[in-house]
Amino acid sequence: MRKKAAVMGLAGLGLGYSLWRGWETGLDRVWQSFFGSPDLGPVDFASLRRRSSPNDALICPRAFCPGSPDSEPPVFALPGARLRSLVSEAALMDPNTTLVQSDSKQDRFLVRTRLMRYPDTVVVEVIEQGPNLSTLALYSRSQIGRSDFGVNRRRIERWVERIGAHAAREPPGLNGR
């Protein structure tokens, strides 16, 4: 009986460790083999159609996104290029977040959950509003599952809050103050 309990305990410990360190055991490859590339690709915010399932989130100026954004972002007293660099700083502060694509228009991040390593794609586009004024559009969506329990929305709200904190620390003149 003790041997059986010891074997079960070790098996449970091994399973727990493999879930905790999923990247070492290949969970990323498992999800990719079942669901395809974890990077869900770019977004055209002007024609974006929100998902019918509750596993996405959108923060975007209503004039830029005709869909139904969850909220609108602030306008930052920063040039677009500087805001874009602050977005990257804020995003990469989250664990398990990587920049997977950057082009002249958008940055795309892949974020994986800690335990099960489920992938979410976050697309960010900076929108120039005038000299030293810019805002942004963020769309976060899950690849796996029907509901995300509000994770995508909390994530992009946290990013916007961080970006605002970073922008407030910018030297006078650069941020319009």
Host H or E run for residue 89:
helix 80-91
What is the structure's pLDDT at 177? 47
What CA–CA distance (Å, rounded) separates 111 from 123?
A: 11
The reported pTM is: 0.81
pLDDT single digits (tens) 68-106: 899 999 999 999 999 999 999 999 999 999 999 999 999
Pick the CATH number of 37-168 from 3.40.50.300, 3.30.565.10, 3.30.390.10, 3.30.310.80: 3.30.310.80
* Percent residues over pLDDT 90 in the chain: 57
